[in-house]
Amino acid sequence: MTDFAVWAPLPKLVRLDVDGTVHDMTADDDGWWRASVDCAADARYGFLLDDDPAVLPDPRSPRQPDGVHERSQLWDPTAAHWTDQQWNGRSIEGAVIYELHTGTFTAAGTFDAAIDKLDYLVDLGVDFVELMPVNAFNGAHGWGYDGVLWYAVHEPYGGPDGLVRLIDACHARGLGVLIDAVFNHLGPSGNYLPQFGPYLSAVSNPWGEGVNLAGPDADEVRRYIIDCALRWMREFHADGLRLDAVHALVDNTAIHILEEMAAETDALSAELGRPLSLIAESDLNDPRLITPRDHGGYGLTAQWDDDIHHAIHTAVSGERQGYYADFGSMSALATTLRNGYFHAGTYSSFRHRRHGRPLDKSLIPATRLMAYTCTHDQVGNRAVGDRPSQNLDHGQLAIKAALALGSPYTAMLFMGEEWASSRPFQFFSSHPEPELARATADGRKAEFADHGWDAAEIPDPQDPQTFLRSKLDWAEVSDSEHARMLGFYRDLIALRHSEPAMANPWLTHLAVEYDEEQRWIVMRRGPIAIACNLGTEDVDVPAAGEPVLGWGGIAAETDTTRLAGHSVAVLRTT
């Protein structure tokens, strides 16, 4: 017998359909409906609510083989084939993480195809793979942030069995796996949750209706979210989650859902005997997210730090539009590198108010903040999805890499940046509903038209070519200039792993010097000095020593190092 259960406090009647046969369900006082049925291990099933003849998928569906509008399918995680019994895991703190989108990482766009590239990632030196959302969403391809059945794995990628094979293969090679989880909203197509219960709130966010975290019946909604988070780590052996846009989780209860999730993740970690990490994406600059719970914080492992990205990108590129307005100076870059946040209770011209809070550098190590020069957001949310490699020379790209990977922060790469991929990463979708498809395309064009772009230049997210253009071109890796950049990244990561001074996680041990006019900056980590010339003219930088690694014109002097324009030198000082 197989036990079926669904939380559905709204309908007066819930029945179970298993392979076309309808069965009665029994209601509990807490809104749960239950039934036990003798059926096949891979049976298709769904629920009938009241007198509606439509069979709806399970809100906790383990598998959606025919898409998010169709019946669910049973899938037994205990029957999955694992060989990672020797994997002891590791924390993400201080690691190098590699963010990738399964559908565009390879030509085939599947978990199995990604396995073929894992040896490349091992050779690159990264420690973790971070998968953009793999939950079930409508359509064949998309970014994955419009998921509607959070427990199921997107079938075109390979479904749950394919994800098991990928994570097992990663662990066999010593690579941890993080999964991007979206709990702040649901997608516009295939969201049947409101027919079952009060999953949504009256509070909206830029992507849709918010989730009910603090209203009536919120306890079951919170349980739905936390159980989903734990499922990825327990049943799929993931080593942690990246939590999308946690600033959109509106929760005014005494125990925030992030704190609750972190506590239960720590308990699961103790049960499994391996580290588990939660990484928040947040634009709040609020250190409470990563402050230990015994010091009044939520106790998350780390958070994305867009201030570091903005400070590096603007100083190198010269871009100043939108939320880049307060960045761009060498002073802003130095301040951010030293303190983790640039806006720390200071005025933000983009927000027209004070923003952020200072980080307690004596309590919170730098490894709880993440540094990066590219993410799916910082590339894909540009009007045409252009990468820095499409606008900057290789010297500038090398400077950005050295500042991010040479910093004391946990580091992250976005797929392809390590070889200066020439392919864009554009916003793409594949909504099958004509009206939704048209609204998505028109909305994207209108958004950027408001910022002065010609609507004709904005890629149509529904055009299959937009998706295909975003796939990495692996043939570039062996091209001479791309191969040289790849070698530079590989050497930077190797130095980060092997140099003891690079392992010090405390910002109090980081020294930064700069010259605003000459556009140079030196980041010192013990005997290692990372000297960068962001300008176009030769400069003499007050750092001397043995060049360990570099890009561009470098001439060592007695007390200084001469750097050509757009050059970087990693020096071992005496």
Tell me which residues are annotated as active site.
244, 281
Distance in angstroms (rounded) separating the CA atoms of residues 531 and 258:
39
User: Please, which residues have CB within 8 angstroms of residue 68's CB and are 6 or more apart in sequence?
Assistant: 57, 136, 137, 138, 148, 149, 152, 189, 190
CB 190 within 8 A of CB 64: no
Distance in angstroms (rounded) separating the CA atoms of residues 443 and 530:
43
**What DSSP line would sit under 15-45, residue for residue?**
EEEETTEEEE-EE-TTSEEEEEE---TT-EE
CB 186 within 8 A of CB 193: yes
Which helix (H) or strand (E) segment is 224 a member of? helix 218-234
Q: Which amino acid is at 462?
A: Q
CB 28 within 8 A of CB 14: no
Residues in the chain: 574
* Nearest residue to 34 via CA among 64, 71, 1, 66: 1
Q: Which amino acid is at 181?
A: A
Distance in angstroms (rounded) separating the CA atoms of residues 466 and 497:
37
CB 196 within 8 A of CB 25: no
